[in-house]
Chain A
Amino acid sequence: MLNVKILGSGCANCIRLERNVRALAEKHNLQLEIEKVTDYAEIMKWPILSTPGLVINNRLVSAGKIPSDPQLLEWLSQV
């Protein structure tokens, strides 16, 4: 099961990113473990300067933007 972390302290884009990920997971029946990381000390362990950050299986894949749905799906459906 993929572990997905959404890094962000509750900005509008962070909330939207989480919603998009959950919607995709439901639509395509993906088994994901979704975590929201809101603590700055924890967020800053990743090399990001802008939120939201997206971490999949301990790998930072995007920062500072909301990736498109096809792009998200590609990342989320990797085995």
Chain B
Amino acid sequence: MDQTLSTQKKPEIPWRLIGLVVLAAIAWIATYSVIQPLANWIAYGLLAQRQGSRLGDSLAFFFYDVPKIILLLGGMIFLISLLRTFFSAEQTRSWLGGKREGVGNVLAAMLGIVTPFCSCSAVPLFIGFVESGIPLGVTFSFLIAAPTINEVAVVLLFGLFGWKVAGLYIASGLIISILAGVVIGRLKMERYVEDFVWQMQSQDAGVIEKLTLQERIERSWESVKEIVGKVWLYVLAGIAVGAGIHGYVPDAALAGIMGRQEWWSVPAAVLVGVPLYSNAAGVIPIVSALMEKGASLGTVLAFMMSVVGLSLPETIILRRVLKPQLIAVFIGVIAAAIIITGYLFNWIM
């Protein structure tokens, strides 16, 4: 069998496309700067609501957040996708090959953020990594980081909470993936990987593709269309609920149940969040409104991590290569790591 990926490229500088990208960036900035006045005008002018009234404030919140988040998603997903075209699963595997545990876990978690990954590819990726001799714990650090540190979640956190919370989210995702990977590695769970995985003959990595700038830009645009097309409805619904909470729920109403004083609030948030598999796009606007009403950051982060990170579909897919015992450890270790991170943030903030 001739197993090569075809690579024939002509290196040309796509000036027309670069021009289009620059024009789009200018249009983006111009639109972004008129959102606030426009939202106020729609809510208080066009719809004639009084400033400071519940309905008026909810509407202004909605008409400001929706275009802002959609624009941020479009712009930032484009940049993130562009960055990701420089990484691939094949490349990541060759970087991780021969790395010891510890260093390997840290590197794997970081590569998990930038390597393009779809949970439907979790199985071939798992087999390919383990086959090439990458330790089980290091493989798990990658498999946990990749879906947990979700680009849509990062953009929404940045847009609704600011860069500090977005940064904390990335940092806690990294910590959770590294910790969980190290623990799984130490537990020596190799015998709980389905036997057929070990029986497969090892394969060399396929050729790593070289892309032209034009292809990178085209691909990034494709993923903007795909991701925004998939999540805009959730964003809309989430912001609508968030706007309702913003206008109608009294301030500090949630400080009692979701505040930091209650020790059980973090585990409770994880317990509720794990089975509630949902899309980050719908959850984060609601969570942002909850925080405004007194919920504490650690509790909120723990809730979000468990909703986004511990995804049911990925777990079901991984069941094909992992025995139930290892699946249980996988879920248990991540849940524990999320709870620890939640406490950590409630304690330091």
Q: Which residues of A are at the interface with B, using a C-beta cutoff of 8 A? A: 8-14, 40-41, 43-51, 58-65, 68, 75
Q: Which residues of B are at the interface with A, using a C-beta cutoff of 8 A? A: 1-6, 88-90, 93, 116-118, 120-121, 123-125, 127-129, 196, 200, 203-206, 218-219, 320-321
Please, which residue of chain A has its CB at the minimum distance from the CB of B93? A49
Of A9, A11, A48, which is within 8 A of B206 by CB?
Answer: A48
- Evaluate whether A60 and B124 lie within 8 angstroms (CB atoms) in the complex, with A47-B205, A47-B206 already known: no
- Evaluate whether A40 and B123 lie within 8 angstroms (CB atoms) in the complex, with A50-B89, A63-B5 already known: yes
Q: How far is the CB of B67 from chain A (nearest CB, A)?
A: 28
On whether the beta carbons of B2 and A59 are closer than 8 Å, the reply is yes
On whether the beta carbons of B124 and A40 are closer than 8 Å, the reply is yes
Q: How far is the CB of B165 from chain A (nearest CB, A)?
A: 30
- Evaluate whether A61 and B127 lie within 8 angstroms (CB atoms) in the complex, with A11-B120, A41-B196, A47-B206 already known: no
- Evaluate whether A59 and B3 lie within 8 angstroms (CB atoms) in the complex, with A47-B205, A48-B206 already known: yes
Total CB contacts across the A-B interface at under 8 A: 80
Q: How far is the CB of A77 from chain B (nearest CB, A)?
A: 14
On whether the beta carbons of B120 and A61 are closer than 8 Å, the reply is no
On whether the beta carbons of A59 and B1 are closer than 8 Å, the reply is yes
Q: How far is the CB of B331 from chain A (nearest CB, A)?
A: 21
Given A14-B120, A49-B89, 9 other A-B residues pairs in contact with their CB atoms under 8 A: A40-B321, A45-B203, A49-B206, A50-B124, A59-B1, A62-B6, A64-B89, A64-B116, A75-B6
Q: How far is the CB of A49 from chain B (nearest CB, A)?
A: 4
Interfacial chain A residues near B118, Cβ < 8 Å? 11, 13, 50-51
Please, which residue of chain A has its CB at the minimum distance from the CB of B317? A9
